[in-house]
Amino acid sequence: VELLKEKIRLEGKVLSDMVLKVDSFINHQVDPVLVMEIGKAFAKAFEDEHITKVLTIESSGIQFAMGTALALGVPFVYAKKKKAITQSSDLYSASVESFTRNETYQITLSKQFLTPNDRVLIVDDFLATGAALVGLIGMIRESGAALAGAGIVIEKSFQEGRKLIEDAGVRICSLARIASMSPGEIHFIEELKTSSVK
């Protein structure tokens, strides 16, 4: 998905060594054509995995889960940050520390939507500390479902999340891996595998 790196270069704003703002096309205003390209890239990367369900976390993972689930022809589920009155009481839950909001919140998922028969692909917009992914992985393991891997739109490879998730034995496909950044400069990790995905 070269279009993604191009957009990050053109429209992304590096606010500090740690914070990348991509809210004109990823997580506030959203380019649905780019989202579908990303969804197709994840579907292709995991095409041999017989995925039955895509899992993400509200809110900014939802559009990418939607695009990926549509490309794979399966439903998606999103873990919720607040319990709705319509939600069942039979829930998986996990604590997640947010990097961009500097707070800890509880995520929940109704148990009926993850079963031991599922083969799950996690999708999210960012991988930084890996906290959200660790929460989702815990829920999947508790459910007895198989975890096929994680599709990540933008990975900040200089933070600890990538290693944490790989050490947990989870296959990761990140479409844009940022080696380092500073205001005005973004350096991507170029990978044969990622580069060949279009």
Quick check: 47 binds a copy of itself (CB under 8 A)?
no
The CA–CA distances, whole Å, from 114 to 47, 88, 111, 142, 165 equal 20, 14, 6, 9, 20
Q: Taking Cα atoms as reference points, which of 67, 69, 60, 59 lies closest to residue 35?
A: 67
Judged by CB, which is closer to a copy of itself: 109, or 194? 109
Q: Taking Cα atoms as reference points, which of 66, 157, 142, 131 lies closest to residue 109?
A: 142
CA 61 to chain centre: 6
Query: What gap in Å lies between CA 155 and CA 1, rounded to an integer?
Result: 14
- How far apart are CB 192 and a copy of itself at their closest, in Å? 30
- How far apart are CB 13 and a copy of itself at their closest, in Å? 8
Judged by CB, which is closer to a copy of itself: 21, or 44? 21
Residue type present at position 12? G
Quick check: 35 binds a copy of itself (CB under 8 A)?
yes
Quick check: 70 binds a copy of itself (CB under 8 A)?
yes
Judged by CB, which is closer to a copy of itself: 112, or 195? 112
Residues of the shown chain interacting with a copy of itself in the complex, contacts defined by CB under 8 A = 15, 19-21, 23-25, 27-33, 35-36, 58-59, 62-63, 65-67, 69-70, 73, 75-78, 80, 82, 84-87, 100-102, 109-110, 112-113
